[in-house]
């Protein structure tokens, strides 16, 4: 991987990780579309993906650091009191995040080896990208239209979810284990289906993304680096910095976009890009 490729892939990863269009799907497809001489199954390429994901997670944690401080304090508060007070917004929000993270965490550990095989298949990623678009469209169709959980404060709106609804959002997020399905798209779509508005669904999606991306990257990066190519450190570092910059821009854009817009344009994009990619790759 040269520096130009690293900048392009890193920048696109930062955007596509937070946009509901699947960063893994695009990262697997793009090198094959452009005819780049690199293997998506190569250890160095995997290190690059993990490093750019870590950069994105750090940006998410930094962007919402005040919320995370309140959430952590709320969780400890509930542990001290041995009860989760429904009126304690950040205590409830913290436990909702934990509950919604469990399904993807369990499936990721159980099927890690099988899922790795899909990361090297651009054709599979293209098919899943088409499916991602279809699912996003369906989720918009079945979202709760008359939202009763509206609040001027997005965290308060999310905290009103029930534990069952949080698990449903977590189950929707499980689809993002497949390269081509978007973590943001699936968790946000799950939020819409259980009654959140677009803004609060995006908020919950971003809060859910940070710990699971960060944990996966921190666990995998040392293991991969120990067997990695030292000569690839430069491109990986540059790609990670670019990813962080574009991730920050994506958060700012999407936070304003979903005040009035829906997931449907992203659904159409995923279906069209997936079909085009599949035709070219075949």
Task: Tell the burial category of 196 from Cβ atoms under 10 Å away from its Cβ (0-12, 13-18, 19+).
Answer: buried
pLDDT at 233: 81
- Helix or strand or coil: residue 85? coil
> Cα separation of 106 and 14, whole Å?
25
Residue 181, beta-bridge partner list: 179
CA distances in angstroms from 243 to 17, 18, 58, 137, 143, listed in the order given? 9, 11, 11, 27, 31
Tell me the per-residue pLDDT of 55-78, one tens digit each, with 9 for 90 and over. 998 999 999 999 999 999 999 999
- Residue 51 to residue 182: CA distance in whole angstroms: 18
pLDDT at position 106 is 86
User: For the chain, what is the domain count?
Assistant: 1
Tokens of 264: 């449907």
Contact 243, 13 (CB under 8 A): yes
Under-70 pLDDT residues of the chain: 40-41, 112-120, 145-152, 223-231
Residue 244 to residue 11: CA distance in whole angstroms:
8
Q: For residue 255, what pLDDT is reported?
A: 93
What backbone phi and psi angles, to 5 degrees, belong to 145?
A: -70, -50
pLDDT at site 249: 96
Phi and psi, residue 278, nearest 5°: -65, -40
What pLDDT is stored for residue 148 in this prediction?
Answer: 47
Find the domain containing 153 and state its range. Answer: 3-281
Residue with tokens 């920050």: 248
pLDDT, residue 182, reads: 93
Residue 166's closest CA among 138, 197, 145, 187? 187
Tell me which residue has tokens 């930094």.
Answer: 62
């Amino acid at each position: 991987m040269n520096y130009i490729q690293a900048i392009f892939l890193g920048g696109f990863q930062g955007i596509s990780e937070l946009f509901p269009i699947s960063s893994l799907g695009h990262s697997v497809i793009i090198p094959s579309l452009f005819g780049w001489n690199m293997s998506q199954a190569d250890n160095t390429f995997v290190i690059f993906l993990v490093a750019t994901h870590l950069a994105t997670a750090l940006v998410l944690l930094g962007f919402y650091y005040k919320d995370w401080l309140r959430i952590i304090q709320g969780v400890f508060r509930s542990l001290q009191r041995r009860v989760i007070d429904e009126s304690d917004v950040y205590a409830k929000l913290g436990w909702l995040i934990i509950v919604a993270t469990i399904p993807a965490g369990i499936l990721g550990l159980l099927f890690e080896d099988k899922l790795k095989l899909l990361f090297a298949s651009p054709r599979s990623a293209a098919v899943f990208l088409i499916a991602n678009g279809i699912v996003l469209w369906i989720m918009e169709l079945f979202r709760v239209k008359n939202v009763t959980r509206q609040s001027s404060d997005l965290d308060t709106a999310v905290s009103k979810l029930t534990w069952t609804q949080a698990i449903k959002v977590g189950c929707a997020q499980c689809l993002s284990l497949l390269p081509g399905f978007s973590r943001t798209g699936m968790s946000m779509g799950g939020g819409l289906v259980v009654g959140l508005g677009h803004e609060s669904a995006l908020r919950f999606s971003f809060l859910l993304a940070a710990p699971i991306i960060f944990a996966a990257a921190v666990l995998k990066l040392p293991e991969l680096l120990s067997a990695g190519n030292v000569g690839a450190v430069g491109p990986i570092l540059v790609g990670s910095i670019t990813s962080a910059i574009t991730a920050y821009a994506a958060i700012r854009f999407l936070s304003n976009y979903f005040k009035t817009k829906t997931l449907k344009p992203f659904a159409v994009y995923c279906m069209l890009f997936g079909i085009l990619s599949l035709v070219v790759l075949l």
